[in-house]
Structure 1
Amino acid sequence: NIPDTVGYATPAHFGHVIKTLRERVPNIDQAVISVHCHNDLGLAVANSLAAVEAGAGQIECTINGIGERAGNCSLEEVVMALRTRHDYYGVDTGVNTPRLVPTSRLVSSVTGMSVQRNKAIVGRNAFAHEAGIHQDGMLKERSTYEIMRPEDVGFTQTDLVLGKHSGRAALADRAKALGFHLSGEQLDQVFNAFKKLADKKKEVYDGDIVALIEQDNTTVSDQWQLESYEVHATTAGSPQATITLSRGSERQTATVAEGDGPLDALFHAIEEITGVAVVVRDFRVQSASRGKDAQGESIIEAEYNGQLVRGRGVSTDTVEAAVRAFLNAVNRVATGQVTDPKVRPEAL
């Protein structure tokens, strides 16, 4: 194993190291040279490719390039570089590349680390062409501006948009195309959420479906559920929030007139009912699809007694999405689904 532990190497230098090892170490052909590159200078993929060119037989890499500090060599990037430029490198990885995007989404969902829109291979904009000359070229000949196809890495292209008249079969088929294989019970749960969403939105896009499925996967059973909330806030004075939660046959309502804004007041109200107080360390809301009625996907990272807990919530109302994410985190605390801070994403 040959590591670039602090990401200091450059491609020419790292390739020379591998080449020198192959030339000077006796019986080197009886071993597989493995490289482990960090991305501190943004060169992890380039260094790994240089190592392969020089004779390395294994690359240590990670989905979405996650890892310590600036991360490690990105699996999806190095795999597609080797595949797309097979004419140059002449090696095969055996990776099932149409699974790259679904796997990237899964890792992002589990870790709570969003994939940047312009990330190579798996970012939302990876195959977007906005310039007029590019669009014209794409219409005439795709290969002019597209060195690989979206479907090669797992992006699905379809003109099918689901709506309130779409049935379970259509939803199941779309979920499968997006890389999700749902059991009968899972499909029932997601379909119920889908119908509620379709009543609010005229068109339901792939991003909406992914968000619904991931939201369902993060639901903690037999814990507090959101029934309703009401919040009043002005630029003068403290906000007032009233929230009602249920757990089985139990139903509780709390009103709180404190907090730094409406969300903070709602969070305090949840803590008052559940008896669980967490410290929010990171909070973000992102669009799950397109359009002004797009779902908001909220992700909260919080701390409880020095341990890490994450929550996720989805709704066409961004406030509700945040409330659901916070409640999801609180429920995870109640069921012991917390993580040692030593393995939080930024420390990977």
Structure 2
Amino acid sequence: MKHEIVKKYQPYRPVDLKDRTWPNKSITTAPRWCSVDLRDGNQALVYPMEIPEKAELFNLLVAVGFKEIEVGFPAAADVEYNFLRYLVDNKLVPNDVTVQILTQAREHLIRKSFDALAGVHRAIVHMYNSTSTLQRDVVFGMSREQIKQLAVDGVKLVKQLAVEYHKKTGTIFDLEYSPESFTGTEVDFAVEICAAVMDVWEPTEQSKVILNLPSTVEMTTPNLYADQIEYFVRNIPRRDLAVISLHTHNDRGCGVAASELGLMAGADRVEGTLFGNGERTGNCDLVTVALNMLTQGVDPKLDFSNINQVAEVYERTTRMNIHQRHPYVGELVFTAFSGSHQDAINKGLAKRKQAEHEGKAITWAVPYLPIDPHDIGRTYESIIRINSQSGKGGVAYVMEHDFGCRLPKTMHPEFARVVQVIAEKQGGEVMPAEINTAFENEYLKRKSPLELAGISAIEEKPDSGEVNLKLKIHSNKAGFLKSGNGEYEGRGNGPLDAARDAIQSATSGRTQFQIKNYSEHSLGEGSDARAIAYIQIEREDKSTFYGVGVSPNISRASIEALFSAVNRAFG
């Protein structure tokens, strides 16, 4: 960047907190959660939600387990006022859920907010006014004392109306106060103004005040936000009567980290949204924070076991798209294109499967997968995806988990090269169906230069163990068979060895090879099960080739596999 551009910006002044303790803390319990997905202009949606969409999203938040939900800014827009009345009048708020509304510290807005809340069983009135140095100077032209008086006067009115409306409707009111732009406010002034708010509200053990400390604009690295929170927690009077709440934004891309460090610094509560939606770059992503806790063995008290449904409702109601790389829910987060990653995932899953088979209770430990996708409603089928950068382990994984073919390990590199050619030609991802088609074309549909037209007889001599068999062999290559299409006999120490002898006899030695490896397993179960056989042969020049055969009859499958290998080696 040009020097004159760089000089426009100054570093943020940190809090003098040399004895900070939060770096030695860890998150061991879930905080109080508050969703603000429905707040202030539907969280800056391009196409604001109407009441049906808001209601569906509200119901989703309730189902996930949110007990505090900010349903909007009812004094700011008719749709938000009407939505809140829709919830209250139709008794759609469960008894264990508290709705929260947002309002500025202005009399007419506060009064209209109470009208919107009348009749709900319990509500949080979230009042705020901006306290930052920049806003005091540029926007309001007010002193610290004047800004504090705005907050105090606003809380006095909230307290008065809370008593009046409780007598009329029975609604229980709690207070949440936010010194807006907390991160741009002198931290000692934030303590001072919040203490003044507490003096007016007079919180009790049964009705604590919520002091919300928003990074309205994320201005620093998360560690400095944590310092601010720890300083505040240490210095606020009557800490035991206050719930310290976090509301981070993502201007620097650190909203999740700031909330996590803020919890370590002593906060009790986190506000945020599903998938980080919100003004400008968004709010703290509550899905990510909650599932981060789960990966550390902490119950987040939110149920994201069907994350696909949560994402579907969110995208449909908000008309916002979730990025493909979004933590936990993005389309690609449980995939691996890198060959080394695929191999490690495959081995990790195989080891876990073996341990489960042996009855061992083990914690989740699979390379590159910090969480078991099944725990959040995702599946393994799409974990490994194939492109030109993928390796042999990934291709083998797809064949086994999508199509039941357990390729021998020595076959992995051979088939991976086949798929890589396709990927490079297409210039993108190769889907599982395309991989299976390539497998069939490469191994199962090879009929040139030789085709097994039938097995007319297999005879085993009990005294010597020698096997005689007769094969009907056809060829589409003129002169390849010494006597043309017809029946050829072979002898050997088993059916495969006899089939090898028959092929070499039929081709007058044109197909000299040895059988190197053989394996087979069943495809499917019960009466419809088929056998699949894999055979590796070696030519005289030491080149090796695999062949594959499938048949309800294991002997037929083995001989088909041998013909497949010969066709690949000599075709």
Normalising by the residue count of structure 2, what TM-score does the alignment of the two structures yield? Answer: 0.27
Larger radius of gyration: 2
TM-score of the two chains, using structure 1 as the length reference: 0.43
Higher relative contact order (CA 8 A, sep 6+): 1
